[in-house]
Amino acid sequence: RIEKWHNFLPLLTSTSFYDAHLNLIIVMMQSIASKFHHKLRQGITRRAIGASRDISVGTDLTASKCTFQQARPWHMDDSKSNLAKDNVITMPTLFPPGKKIAVFGIPAPFTGTCTTAHYPPYATLADQFKSAGIDSIVCYTVADPYSHYNWGKSMGNDFEKISFLADVDGEWAEEYELKRDYTGASLGHRSERFSMIVEDGVVKSFNFVEDAEKDAETLLGQV
């Protein structure tokens, strides 16, 4: 076997061999470089798209075309409308210029942690949020507006202090990569638990909430 390789050595080390195959080597290297550049651009594009959808400090929420529904009872007469188009809340409406909004997101109405741990401290600290400069507090969830309203009502919520808004189809949660699968608890796809301060439509602080009971205090400290 060594003798066979010795027979090829003069060919491999000759100038004529490299001259003859130089163009092929260049083409191969260009092809490899092109593929690497393409993969790199794909990676950058994916990260850029992800960043534009990621909800983090500096995100302009008014750029979203998603809308929320005002939590409400089902009206049994014509005094008020049950139609979605008449109860829509756009992002520029929710986050107007010159206003500072505190938002806390819960996975679902009438569930244990949301009812006993996450909401109550916000109700307790609502006046302190206002004194600290917060113009309004929003309780957000992926649900229909009727169950969201009745959940708030069952807890004695003052809707003048804490407004309840519903992301009916979870479109906003999906846009900002907050959508989570809770099918194991028979809840389907909902929003992850979070809180944030939004000023002039721009996110000033954002938290993924692990300790629901401490969240209101934490967010108040970020105002």
Reported for 79-85, long-range contacts at CB under 8 A and 24+ positions apart, including other chains, are 84/168
The radius of gyration of the chain's CA atoms, rounded to the nearest angstrom, is: 28
Residues with Cβ < 8 Å from 120, sequence gap 6 or more? 155
Sign of the dihedral through C-alpha 101, 104, 108, 109? negative
Residue linked to tokens 């846009």: 175
For 20-44, give the DSSP string: HHHHHHHHHHHHHHHHHHHHHHHHH
Active site residue ranges? 114
What span, in angstroms and rounded, lies between the C-alpha atoms of 59 and 135? 19
Contact indicator for 165, 69 with CB cutoff of 8 Å:
yes
Please name which of 184, 187, 178 lies closest in space to residue 209, comparing C-alpha atoms: 178
